[in-house]
Amino acid sequence: MFIRIAGQILRTGCRNRPLSGAVATKTWERSNSFIVFSRSLSYHLQRTPRNSIPSRIAVREFHATEVRDAVKSFLLADVGEGITECEVVQWFVEPGNQVSEFDKICEVQSDKASVEITSRYTGTVKKLHYKVGDMARVGLPIADIELEGEEGVGLTEVEEADPELGRDASPIEPLPASLDQDKVVEDVLTVKKLTEVVTVKKANLLTLATPAVRRLAREHQVDLQLIKGSGKAGRVLKEDVTTFVRMGSDKGIAEPTLFTSIPPQAMTDTLSPLTKIQSSMFKAMTKSLAIPHFGYSDEYILDPVFAFRDSLNAEISRHKDKYAFSKITFMPIFIKSFSMALEEFPILNSSVVIVDENETIIGGSEDAIRSKADVGRVRLWYKSEHNVGIAMDTPNGLIVPNIKSVQRKSIFEIAGELHRLLDLGKRNAIPVSDFKDGTITLSNVGIIGGTYLNPVVVSGEVCISAVGRIQRVPRFEMIEEQGRLVEKIVGKRIARVSFSADHRVIYGATIARFSQSWKNLLENPLVLAARLK
């Protein structure tokens, strides 16, 4: 019967009804003749009465019972202390993809860092529970994975049938003349063209980029597929988009065809949700508002630090194989001397907490304010480790990771840690552990600009310092000439250093003395070198 039907189809020119979009989408890559043939065969089998099938052949369908628990729900694990939800930044898989254990599933962005989630199973992705940009809850499913080898089986089997079947078989009904091969092929080609367009858009969505970068690309009507990403695994950064736009403007390059059909829109006011980093800043700074700030500022002469840094860079150039960086900046020197001065003023490396009747810490400073706790339960928690937080400007916003145990590290070791954090920060890949347990914060915003600064104390700490831009300015200095001191105007490289402290527990005099100690180390590098451990 099968052979007779197939022969009839081939003799009539493979005419059939037009293919539906769903069928055509799956089969357009095959040859047109095969598509038409298979669809026509299906059409005939459906139109043929069951008792008309010859006695030698019968069609029986059966479905095996599916193995219980074949589909596993993949839960979002805890990605960091206290984090309950994360934003889905991108998916590395889609339904139908095969995955193995430890393959990347998705990337999520928490309040503190970006984390890549890997699979715990081997099998087929059946469902994604979130879209890009959605907030995924810790402990709830993010994807369903059908385990390999446990899929239910659905088959159609051809077997021997009862000899009585098919005695009254009717002849094969001719195909409708109006359904010809040309029409079917035309429909297949149409679906193919539409699929190609969708594939381009889908490829654009699979480009590694954060939501903020995608928004920037849409604003400039740029196809992300045309941009070579400089981030991790080819991730497209904001700088890549702006550079691409600038180069296109300079060279008169036409904008990508995919976006040229979008009509220009009039500029209007828009509402934009906060990014994850902005949301984290909003929460942290709202807590910081409860802290009464005390401000202090002083001027540091940094000419001696320039000479000290040049000596360190000369050492690095002589032993290039020992270091992961080619030169040292001022920041490692600032951080180390900051920690050395901190040893004389341990109260600045403390935290305000509240305790219960057993002297067990039960909350921080903001908890004491919120609950109006008795001041008798407030304590100062002196930290033994100098975990200095470094305010960093990254493509995704302001972050404050910290360098652990600065008091036990050399300037070169601090430079290596700083180099690591800066590199990871550009790729939004700093581990959550680098954000934990900070004790005091130092900002070097002066490398961007600004002279007088007003930093905000981070909740959980009692002090923060910020170094302004280094400038060459005229200053009066007593210079010896012919055996006597003469007042002269000389050029000095200076930076204005600002402090903010929790005035509930820190006196203004404490900050002033700490500043003088730090200033003495920077203006006298020989003293700094002599005190290095």
Nearest alpha-carbon partner for 99 in 142, 63, 137: 142
Residue 134 has pLDDT above 50, yes or no: yes
pLDDT for the residue numbered 82:
62
One domain for residues 225 and 336: no
Residue 32 has pLDDT above 50, yes or no: no
One domain for residues 220 and 347: no
Instruction: Kindly report, residue by residue over 448-477, the tens digit of the pLDDT.
Output: 878 888 999 998 999 999 999 999 999 998
Q: Determine the average pLDDT of the residues in 79-95.
A: 80
Q: Are strands 104-109 and 154-159 parallel, antiparallel or unpaired?
A: unpaired
pLDDT for the residue numbered 87:
83
Q: List CB contacts of 164: < 8 A, sequence separation 6 or more.
A: 55
Residue 195 lies in a domain: no
pLDDT confidence band for 419 (50 / 70 / 90): very high
Residue 313 lies in a domain: yes
Higher pLDDT, 245 or 502: 502
Domain count, the chain: 4
One domain for residues 350 and 256: no
Sign of the torsion formed by the C-alpha atoms of 289, 295, 299 and 303:
negative
One domain for residues 35 and 129: no
With residue 371 as reference, give the H or E element that holds it: helix 365-371
Edge-to-edge strand order for the sheet containing 123-128?
71-75, 141-147, 123-128, 98-99
Residue 153 has pLDDT above 50, yes or no: no
Higher pLDDT, 154 or 466: 466
CATH label of the domain that carries residue 439: 3.30.559.10
Residue that finishes a domain, picked among 123, 147, 171: 147
Q: In b/e form, how buried is each residue of 270-304, taking b as 16+ CB within 10 angstroms?
A: eeeeebbbeebbeeeeebbeebebbebbeebbbee
Residue 395 lies in a domain: yes
Higher pLDDT, 209 or 404: 404
Q: Determine the average pLDDT of the residues in 67-84.
A: 72
Residue 432 lies in a domain: yes
Residue 253 lies in a domain: yes
One domain for residues 232 and 84: no
Q: Determine the average pLDDT of the residues in 353-364.
A: 86
One domain for residues 326 and 368: yes
Residue 436 lies in a domain: yes
One domain for residues 77 and 162: no
pLDDT confidence band for 415 (50 / 70 / 90): very high
Residue 366 has pLDDT above 70, yes or no: no
CATH label of the domain that carries residue 130: 2.40.50.100
Higher pLDDT, 421 or 228: 421
Measured CA to CA, the distance from residue 177 to residue 168 in angstroms comes to 26
Residue 306 has pLDDT above 90, yes or no: yes
Q: Determine the average pLDDT of the residues in 51-59.
A: 45
Q: Domain range holding 39?
A: 2-65+152-179
One domain for residues 478 and 334: yes
pLDDT for the residue numbered 365:
65
One domain for residues 28 and 107: no
pLDDT for the residue numbered 62:
46
Q: Determine the average pLDDT of the residues in 220-238.
A: 80
One domain for residues 381 and 431: yes
CATH label of the domain that carries residue 221: 4.10.320.10
Percent of the chain with pLDDT over 70: 69
Residue 135 lies in a domain: yes
pLDDT for the residue numbered 307:
92
Residue 482 lies in a domain: yes
Residue that finishes a domain, picked among 137, 163, 179: 179
One domain for residues 142 and 172: no
One domain for residues 60 and 113: no
Task: Supply the mean pLDDT for the chain.
Answer: 76
Measured CA to CA, the distance from residue 127 to residue 130 in angstroms comes to 9
Measured CA to CA, the distance from residue 19 to residue 11 in angstroms comes to 20
Instruction: Kindly report, residue by residue over 500-519, the tens digit of the pLDDT.
Output: 999 999 999 999 999 999 99
